[in-house]
């Protein structure tokens, strides 16, 4: 039903006469189709009894989307705008209406204020250094913005442990640029509050700098009561909790040399706490990512490497838990793209996550169905990407 609604709306948009578009010049239709043919597997499980994800072929849609933007001049220096963006999946022939960046707001000399469903400032903070279009099997957020087993769920809010979020119930403010500096802040409401139990909300901010060849950012994000009544998804699992608190810190920097070579580096620290009658259990880990992109005319060579440390973990009684025993992973992604035009690229990617003994890291976008502890998700992808 949702996919039929998307197709119907697209049909209406395309059927509108050029004159109608001229009369409403503030309406824009945009989108990205990014589809890849992939060979994927996840072998090398720690427990020989555990299921191995054997080699297979698939198509992946890699965050393909279609959106509608509308703006209206309210007064001098002030505009109202709205955006409705939907997920489309050419690989499976379906999609989800209005589930990507969608909201309504005001923009002017004061900056921009928007309410709705939108990417968090934390997620967007290091997009300038992502080598593989910020999606697909080469997306470095796999290592930087999650913990083992917490695969980014960029379309929805189901995954409580991910810091790569497109958050519902969001109120955001984006400052104008001052001497190259900008500030983005957000709050996601506690609509799902339970009188006696959970009180989930999200608060975050990113201070960024962009001037000439230099980009840099520092981000903070806090999740309250996102893990729910059980912390079973965390390394200290099996604990019935009163409250949970997750805090993420991230710093990123990028530099462009000779208009052809782009280098990037990022660090993140994620900490998860669960409080019960027995005390507070805690897991925290650091991650590092390095990226490079080198252009040669229409060709671009792309590379990324990241490492998530095993982390440190303590149970509510103060004892150590399995996170201290090989819970981390590394990610290597190598590839190249060829620009056939300003809007169309063809590309190839090789990506491998090497999980440690207890690691269960999976691709943040286009994840594999199953990754058991110690297995190494691996993908070889050939794709085409078109923007309009």
Q: Is residue 266 part of a domain?
A: yes
Q: Is residue 287 part of a domain?
A: yes
Q: Is residue 209 part of a domain?
A: yes
Confidence bin at 130 (pLDDT 50/70/90): very high
- State the chain's mean pLDDT as an integer: 87
Tell me the percentage of the chain whose pLDDT exceeds 70.
85
Confidence bin at 225 (pLDDT 50/70/90): confident
Q: Does residue 195 surpass a pLDDT of 70?
A: no
Q: Which of 22-26, 67-71, 116-120, 181-185 has the lowest mean pLDDT?
A: 22-26
Q: Is residue 18 part of a domain?
A: no
Q: Look at the alpha carbons of 127, 131, 133, 139 in this order and tell me if their dihedral is positive or negative.
A: negative
Residue among 245, 221, 219, 218 nearest 231 (CA): 245
CA pair distance 98, 118, nearest whole angstrom:
11
Confidence bin at 323 (pLDDT 50/70/90): low
Q: For residue 153, give its domain range.
A: 28-63+106-387
Q: Is residue 97 part of a domain?
A: no
Give the pLDDT mean for 321-339. Answer: 87
CA pair distance 106, 382, nearest whole angstrom:
40
Return the top range by mean pLDDT from 148-152, 197-201, 263-267.
263-267
Structure tokens of 294? Answer: 């080198």
Which CATH number is 236's domain given?
2.40.160.10
Return the top range by mean pLDDT from 103-107, 188-192, 309-313.
103-107
Confidence bin at 169 (pLDDT 50/70/90): very high
Confidence bin at 265 (pLDDT 50/70/90): very high
Q: Is residue 180 part of a domain?
A: yes
Confidence bin at 160 (pLDDT 50/70/90): confident
Summarize pLDDT for 55-108 with one digit per residue, the tens. 999 999 999 999 999 999 999 999 999 999 999 999 888 889 889 999 999 999
Q: Is residue 3 part of a domain?
A: no
Give the pLDDT mean for 137-160. Answer: 70
pTM listed for this prediction: 0.89
Q: Is residue 19 part of a domain?
A: no
Summarize pLDDT for 137-148 with one digit per residue, the tens. 999 999 999 886
Beta-bridge partner residues of 293: 262, 302
Higher pLDDT, 77 or 16: 77
- What is the predicted pLDDT for the residue at 231? 58
- What is the predicted pLDDT for the residue at 125? 97
Higher pLDDT, 234 or 89: 89
* Number of domains observed in the structure of the chain: 1
Tell me the percentage of the chain whose pLDDT exceeds 90.
64
Contact predicate 236/321, CB 8 Å:
yes
Confidence bin at 156 (pLDDT 50/70/90): very low
Q: Does residue 54 surpass a pLDDT of 60?
A: yes
3-state secondary structure the chain: CHHHHHHHHHHHHHHCCHHHHHHCCCEEEEEEEEEEEEEEEEECCCCCCCCCEEEEEEEECCCCEEEEEEEEEEECCEEEEEEEEEEEECCCCEEECCCCCEEEEEEECCEEEEEEEEECHHHHCCHHHCCCCCCHHHCCHHHHCCCCCCCCCCCCCCCCCCCCCEEEEEEEEECCCECCEEEEEEEECCCCCCCCCCCCEEEEEEEEEEECCEEEEEEEEEEECCCCCECCCCCCCCCECCEEEEEEEEEEEEEEECCCEEEEEEEEEEEEEEEECCEEEEEEEEEEEEEEEEEECCEEEEEEEEEECCCEEECCCCCECHHHCCCCEEEEEEEEEEECCCCEEEEEEEEEEEECCCCCCCCCCCCCCCCCCCCEEEEEEEEEEEEC
**CA contacts within 13 A on the Cβ side of 350:** 3
Contact predicate 59/35, CB 8 Å:
yes
């Amino acid at each position: 039903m949702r996919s039929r609604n998307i197709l119907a709306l697209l049909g209406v948009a395309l059927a509108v006469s050029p004159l109608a578009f001229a009369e409403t010049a503030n309406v824009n239709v945009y989108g990205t189709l990014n589809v890849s043919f992939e060979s994927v597997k996840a072998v090398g499980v720690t427990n020989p009894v555990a299921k191995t994800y054997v080699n297979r072929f698939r198509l992946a849609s890699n965050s393909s989307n279609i959106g509608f933007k509308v703006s209206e001049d309210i007064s001098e220096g002030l505009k109202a705008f709205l955006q409705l963006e939907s997920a489309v999946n050419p690989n499976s022939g379906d999609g989800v209406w209005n589930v990507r960046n969608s909201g309504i707001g005001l923009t002017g000399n004061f900056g921009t204020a928007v309410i709705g469903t939108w990417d968090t400032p934390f997620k967007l903070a290091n997009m300038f250094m992502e080598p593989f279009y910020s999606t697909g099997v080469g997306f470095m957020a796999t290592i930087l913005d999650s913990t083992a087993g917490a695969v980014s769920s960029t379309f929805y809010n189901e995954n409580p442990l991910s810091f790569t979020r497109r958050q519902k119930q969001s109120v955001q403010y984006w400052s104008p640029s001052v001497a190259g500096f900008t500030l983005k802040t957000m709050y996601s409401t506690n609509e799902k509050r339970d009188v006696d139990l959970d009180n989930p909300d999200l608060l975050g901010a990113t201070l960024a700098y962009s001037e000439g060849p230099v980009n840099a950012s520092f981000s903070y994000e806090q999740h309250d009561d996102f893990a729910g009544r059980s912390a079973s998804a965390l390394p200290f699992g099996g604990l019935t909790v009163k409250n949970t608190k997750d805090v993420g810190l991230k710093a990123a920097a990028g530099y462009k040399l000779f208009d052809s070579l782009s280098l990037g580096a990022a660090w993140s620290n994620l900490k998860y706490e669960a409080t019960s009658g027995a005390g507070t259990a805690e897991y925290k880990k650091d991650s590092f990512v390095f990226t490079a992109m080198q252009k040669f005319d229409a060709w671009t060579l792309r590379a990324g490497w990241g490492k998530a440390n095993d982390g440190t973990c303590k149970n509510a009684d103060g004892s150590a838990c399995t996170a201290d025993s090989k819970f981390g992973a590394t990610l290597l992604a190598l590839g190249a793209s060829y620009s056939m035009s300003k809007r169309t690229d063809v590309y190839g990617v090789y990506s491998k996550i090497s999980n440690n003994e207890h690691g269960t890291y999976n691709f943040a976008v286009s994840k594999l169905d199953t990754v058991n502890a110690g297995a190494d998700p691996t993908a070889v992808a050939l794709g085409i990407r078109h923007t309009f």
